Structure 1
Amino acid sequence: MALFRTGDDRVFALADKCPHRGGPLSQGIVHGTRVTCPMHDMVIELDTGHAVAPDEGDAQTFETRVVEGGIEILLDRSQAVAE
């Protein structure tokens, strides 16, 4: 899993695996709400996990929230509790 904090202080969590060839997204460069894979320059949207055209594919995303300075990550959406 890779955690990303954007310049506007939002937090995102994605599987640390590029959908193209499995490169480590945690070692990529974040720009705005996107990360560029360090292996082949595939660009992934942090909020959706979708690759930016012309690339195709999806990285798994996880819901995050900041609570009292810590980061909570929902690993299993089927166990989410409605508030």
Structure 2
Amino acid sequence: MAKEKTTPLAATQFENSQELDISDEKHGFLPIETNWFDRLFISVVIWVALCLFWFRFLEPAGLSIWIANAIGIALAAFLIRKG
């Protein structure tokens, strides 16, 4: 009987798998890998922080909260699309 050559499972897996080209993936400016829902969540958290900052420091000076909302929506749209 001929002795069968055995290979470890990990080595077989690497021999049979095709190398993936990850250069085709879309990379945003965020330092973490995200999907659209992650970017939406980050946008909402930033919007809440912006509104709280606005209420504390800028609204007593006479600036309306609607300005903060407009900035938050614009920032969220940019972050979801490009992030």
Q: Shorter-chain-normalised TM-score: which range?
A: under 0.3
Q: TM-score, normalization: structure 1? A: 0.20
Higher RCO, 1 vs 2 (CA within 8 Å, ≥6 residues apart): 2
More strand by share: 1
Q: TM-score, normalization: structure 2? A: 0.20
